[in-house]
Amino acid sequence: MPCGWVGGVRLLPIPEPAVVPEGAAQRQWWLKVCRQGEQLGLRPKGPSICSTKGTVTVMGAHIAAPWCGDARTNSVSSPGVIDVVRCQAGDGAGAVAGVGLVLFDGAALRAADINRLACAAGISYVAMVNHAADFQGRATELLGDVGLLDEIAEALRALNPAISWVAAGSSFGGVAAARLIARHPDLFQGAVCASTPWGRLLLPDAAGTPPPERMPWLRAVRGELEWLFPAAAQTAALGRCALRGITTRDESFPGGHDVAWWREVLIAAAIVGADVPLPKALEQLAAKVANKQAAAQQL
């Protein structure tokens, strides 16, 4: 594994003969293998988190363990398209004043405790988008549905007009995050897009255009082990975003298509913006969480 790798690990027995189907059937074959492995509970010892494919042991994380203390969060009534958690102020974590995080694939990321991690990092609101979970429905909504983007923006404005938002997502969720800030650039500070299939990006027309100094930024982070997502595709897509006036940052990370590093990267990049290199951002995130944990132990 490359130096600095972060990932979720478990042991999966592969049925013999291992005839791997091609096309869409391959995904279903892999999910079946994961379900069977989850039933056996074969994992190395260590901190664990939930993923859409079962529980995994986290290896190489910048944060020693998932945040498991009092998250000090309050649920906010959902406007329908989003479910929102409000992080209480005054927690000693150095809150990012007035910054909210919009998460695509929010249910999966919440299972990995990302909402608690966001609150520990000082983010004010975490809004998890309600969209289809099945492969085809998710692809339709996240890759091409402009109506969903407008519903999200309307719900965010109704929630708290003073909040400045950062959109974030992984895989198809990364495409949706980029599309959301391109559609509503006046509402967002920026977007964090991890493990994103940039060849599927169709930028929608902008609903409004803020002055150049208020255009959002976009950080695209590709796992170095993700051979399906070539670096050239990421660079080309960011060039298209730059033509819209969006400030872009093209990065890689020593990881793969894995929620264990998504949960760290999405939060770390969101709290520092576009200028701080990712390794430094992860250090800052780890320090914020450590301070939060220390403060909780003193209560």
Q: Which of 91-105, 108-122, 171-185 has the highest mean pLDDT?
A: 171-185
Asked if residue 35 is part of any domain, the answer here is: yes
Could you give the number of structural domains in the chain? Answer: 2
The answer to whether residues 239 and 136 belong to one domain is yes
15/277: higher pLDDT? 277
In single-letter form, the type of residue at position 139 comes to A
Are 44 and 163 found together in one domain?
Answer: no
Rg for the chain, CA atoms, rounded: 19
Do 184 and 226 fall into the same domain?
A: yes
Whole-number pLDDT of residue 186: 94
Contact residues for 29 (Cβ-Cβ < 8 A; gap 6+): 20, 21
Find the domain containing 53 and state its range: 7-59
Q: What's the confidence (pLDDT) of residue 96?
A: 58
What pLDDT is attached to residue 154? 92
* Residue-wise pLDDT tens digits, 138-151: 778 788 889 999 99
Note whether 165 and 42 are same-domain residues. no
B/e letters for 102-120, b = 16+ CB within 10 Å, e = fewer, are bbbbbebbbebbbbbbbbb
Per the domain annotation, does 90 fall within a domain?
Answer: yes
Residues 186-239: pLDDT tens digits? 999 999 999 999 989 999 999 988 898 899 999 999 988 887 788 888 999 999
- Residue for token pair 């074959």: 29
Domain end position, chosen among 19, 34, 59: 59
122 with 223, same domain: the answer is yes
Mean local confidence (pLDDT), 244-270: 89
**89/235 same-domain check:** yes
Q: Are residues 116 and 13 in the same domain?
A: no
Same domain, 149 and 285: yes
273: left (phi over 0), alpha (psi -120 to 50) or beta: left
Q: What is the CATH number of the domain that holds 242?
A: 3.40.50.1820
| Residue 68 counted as domain residue | no
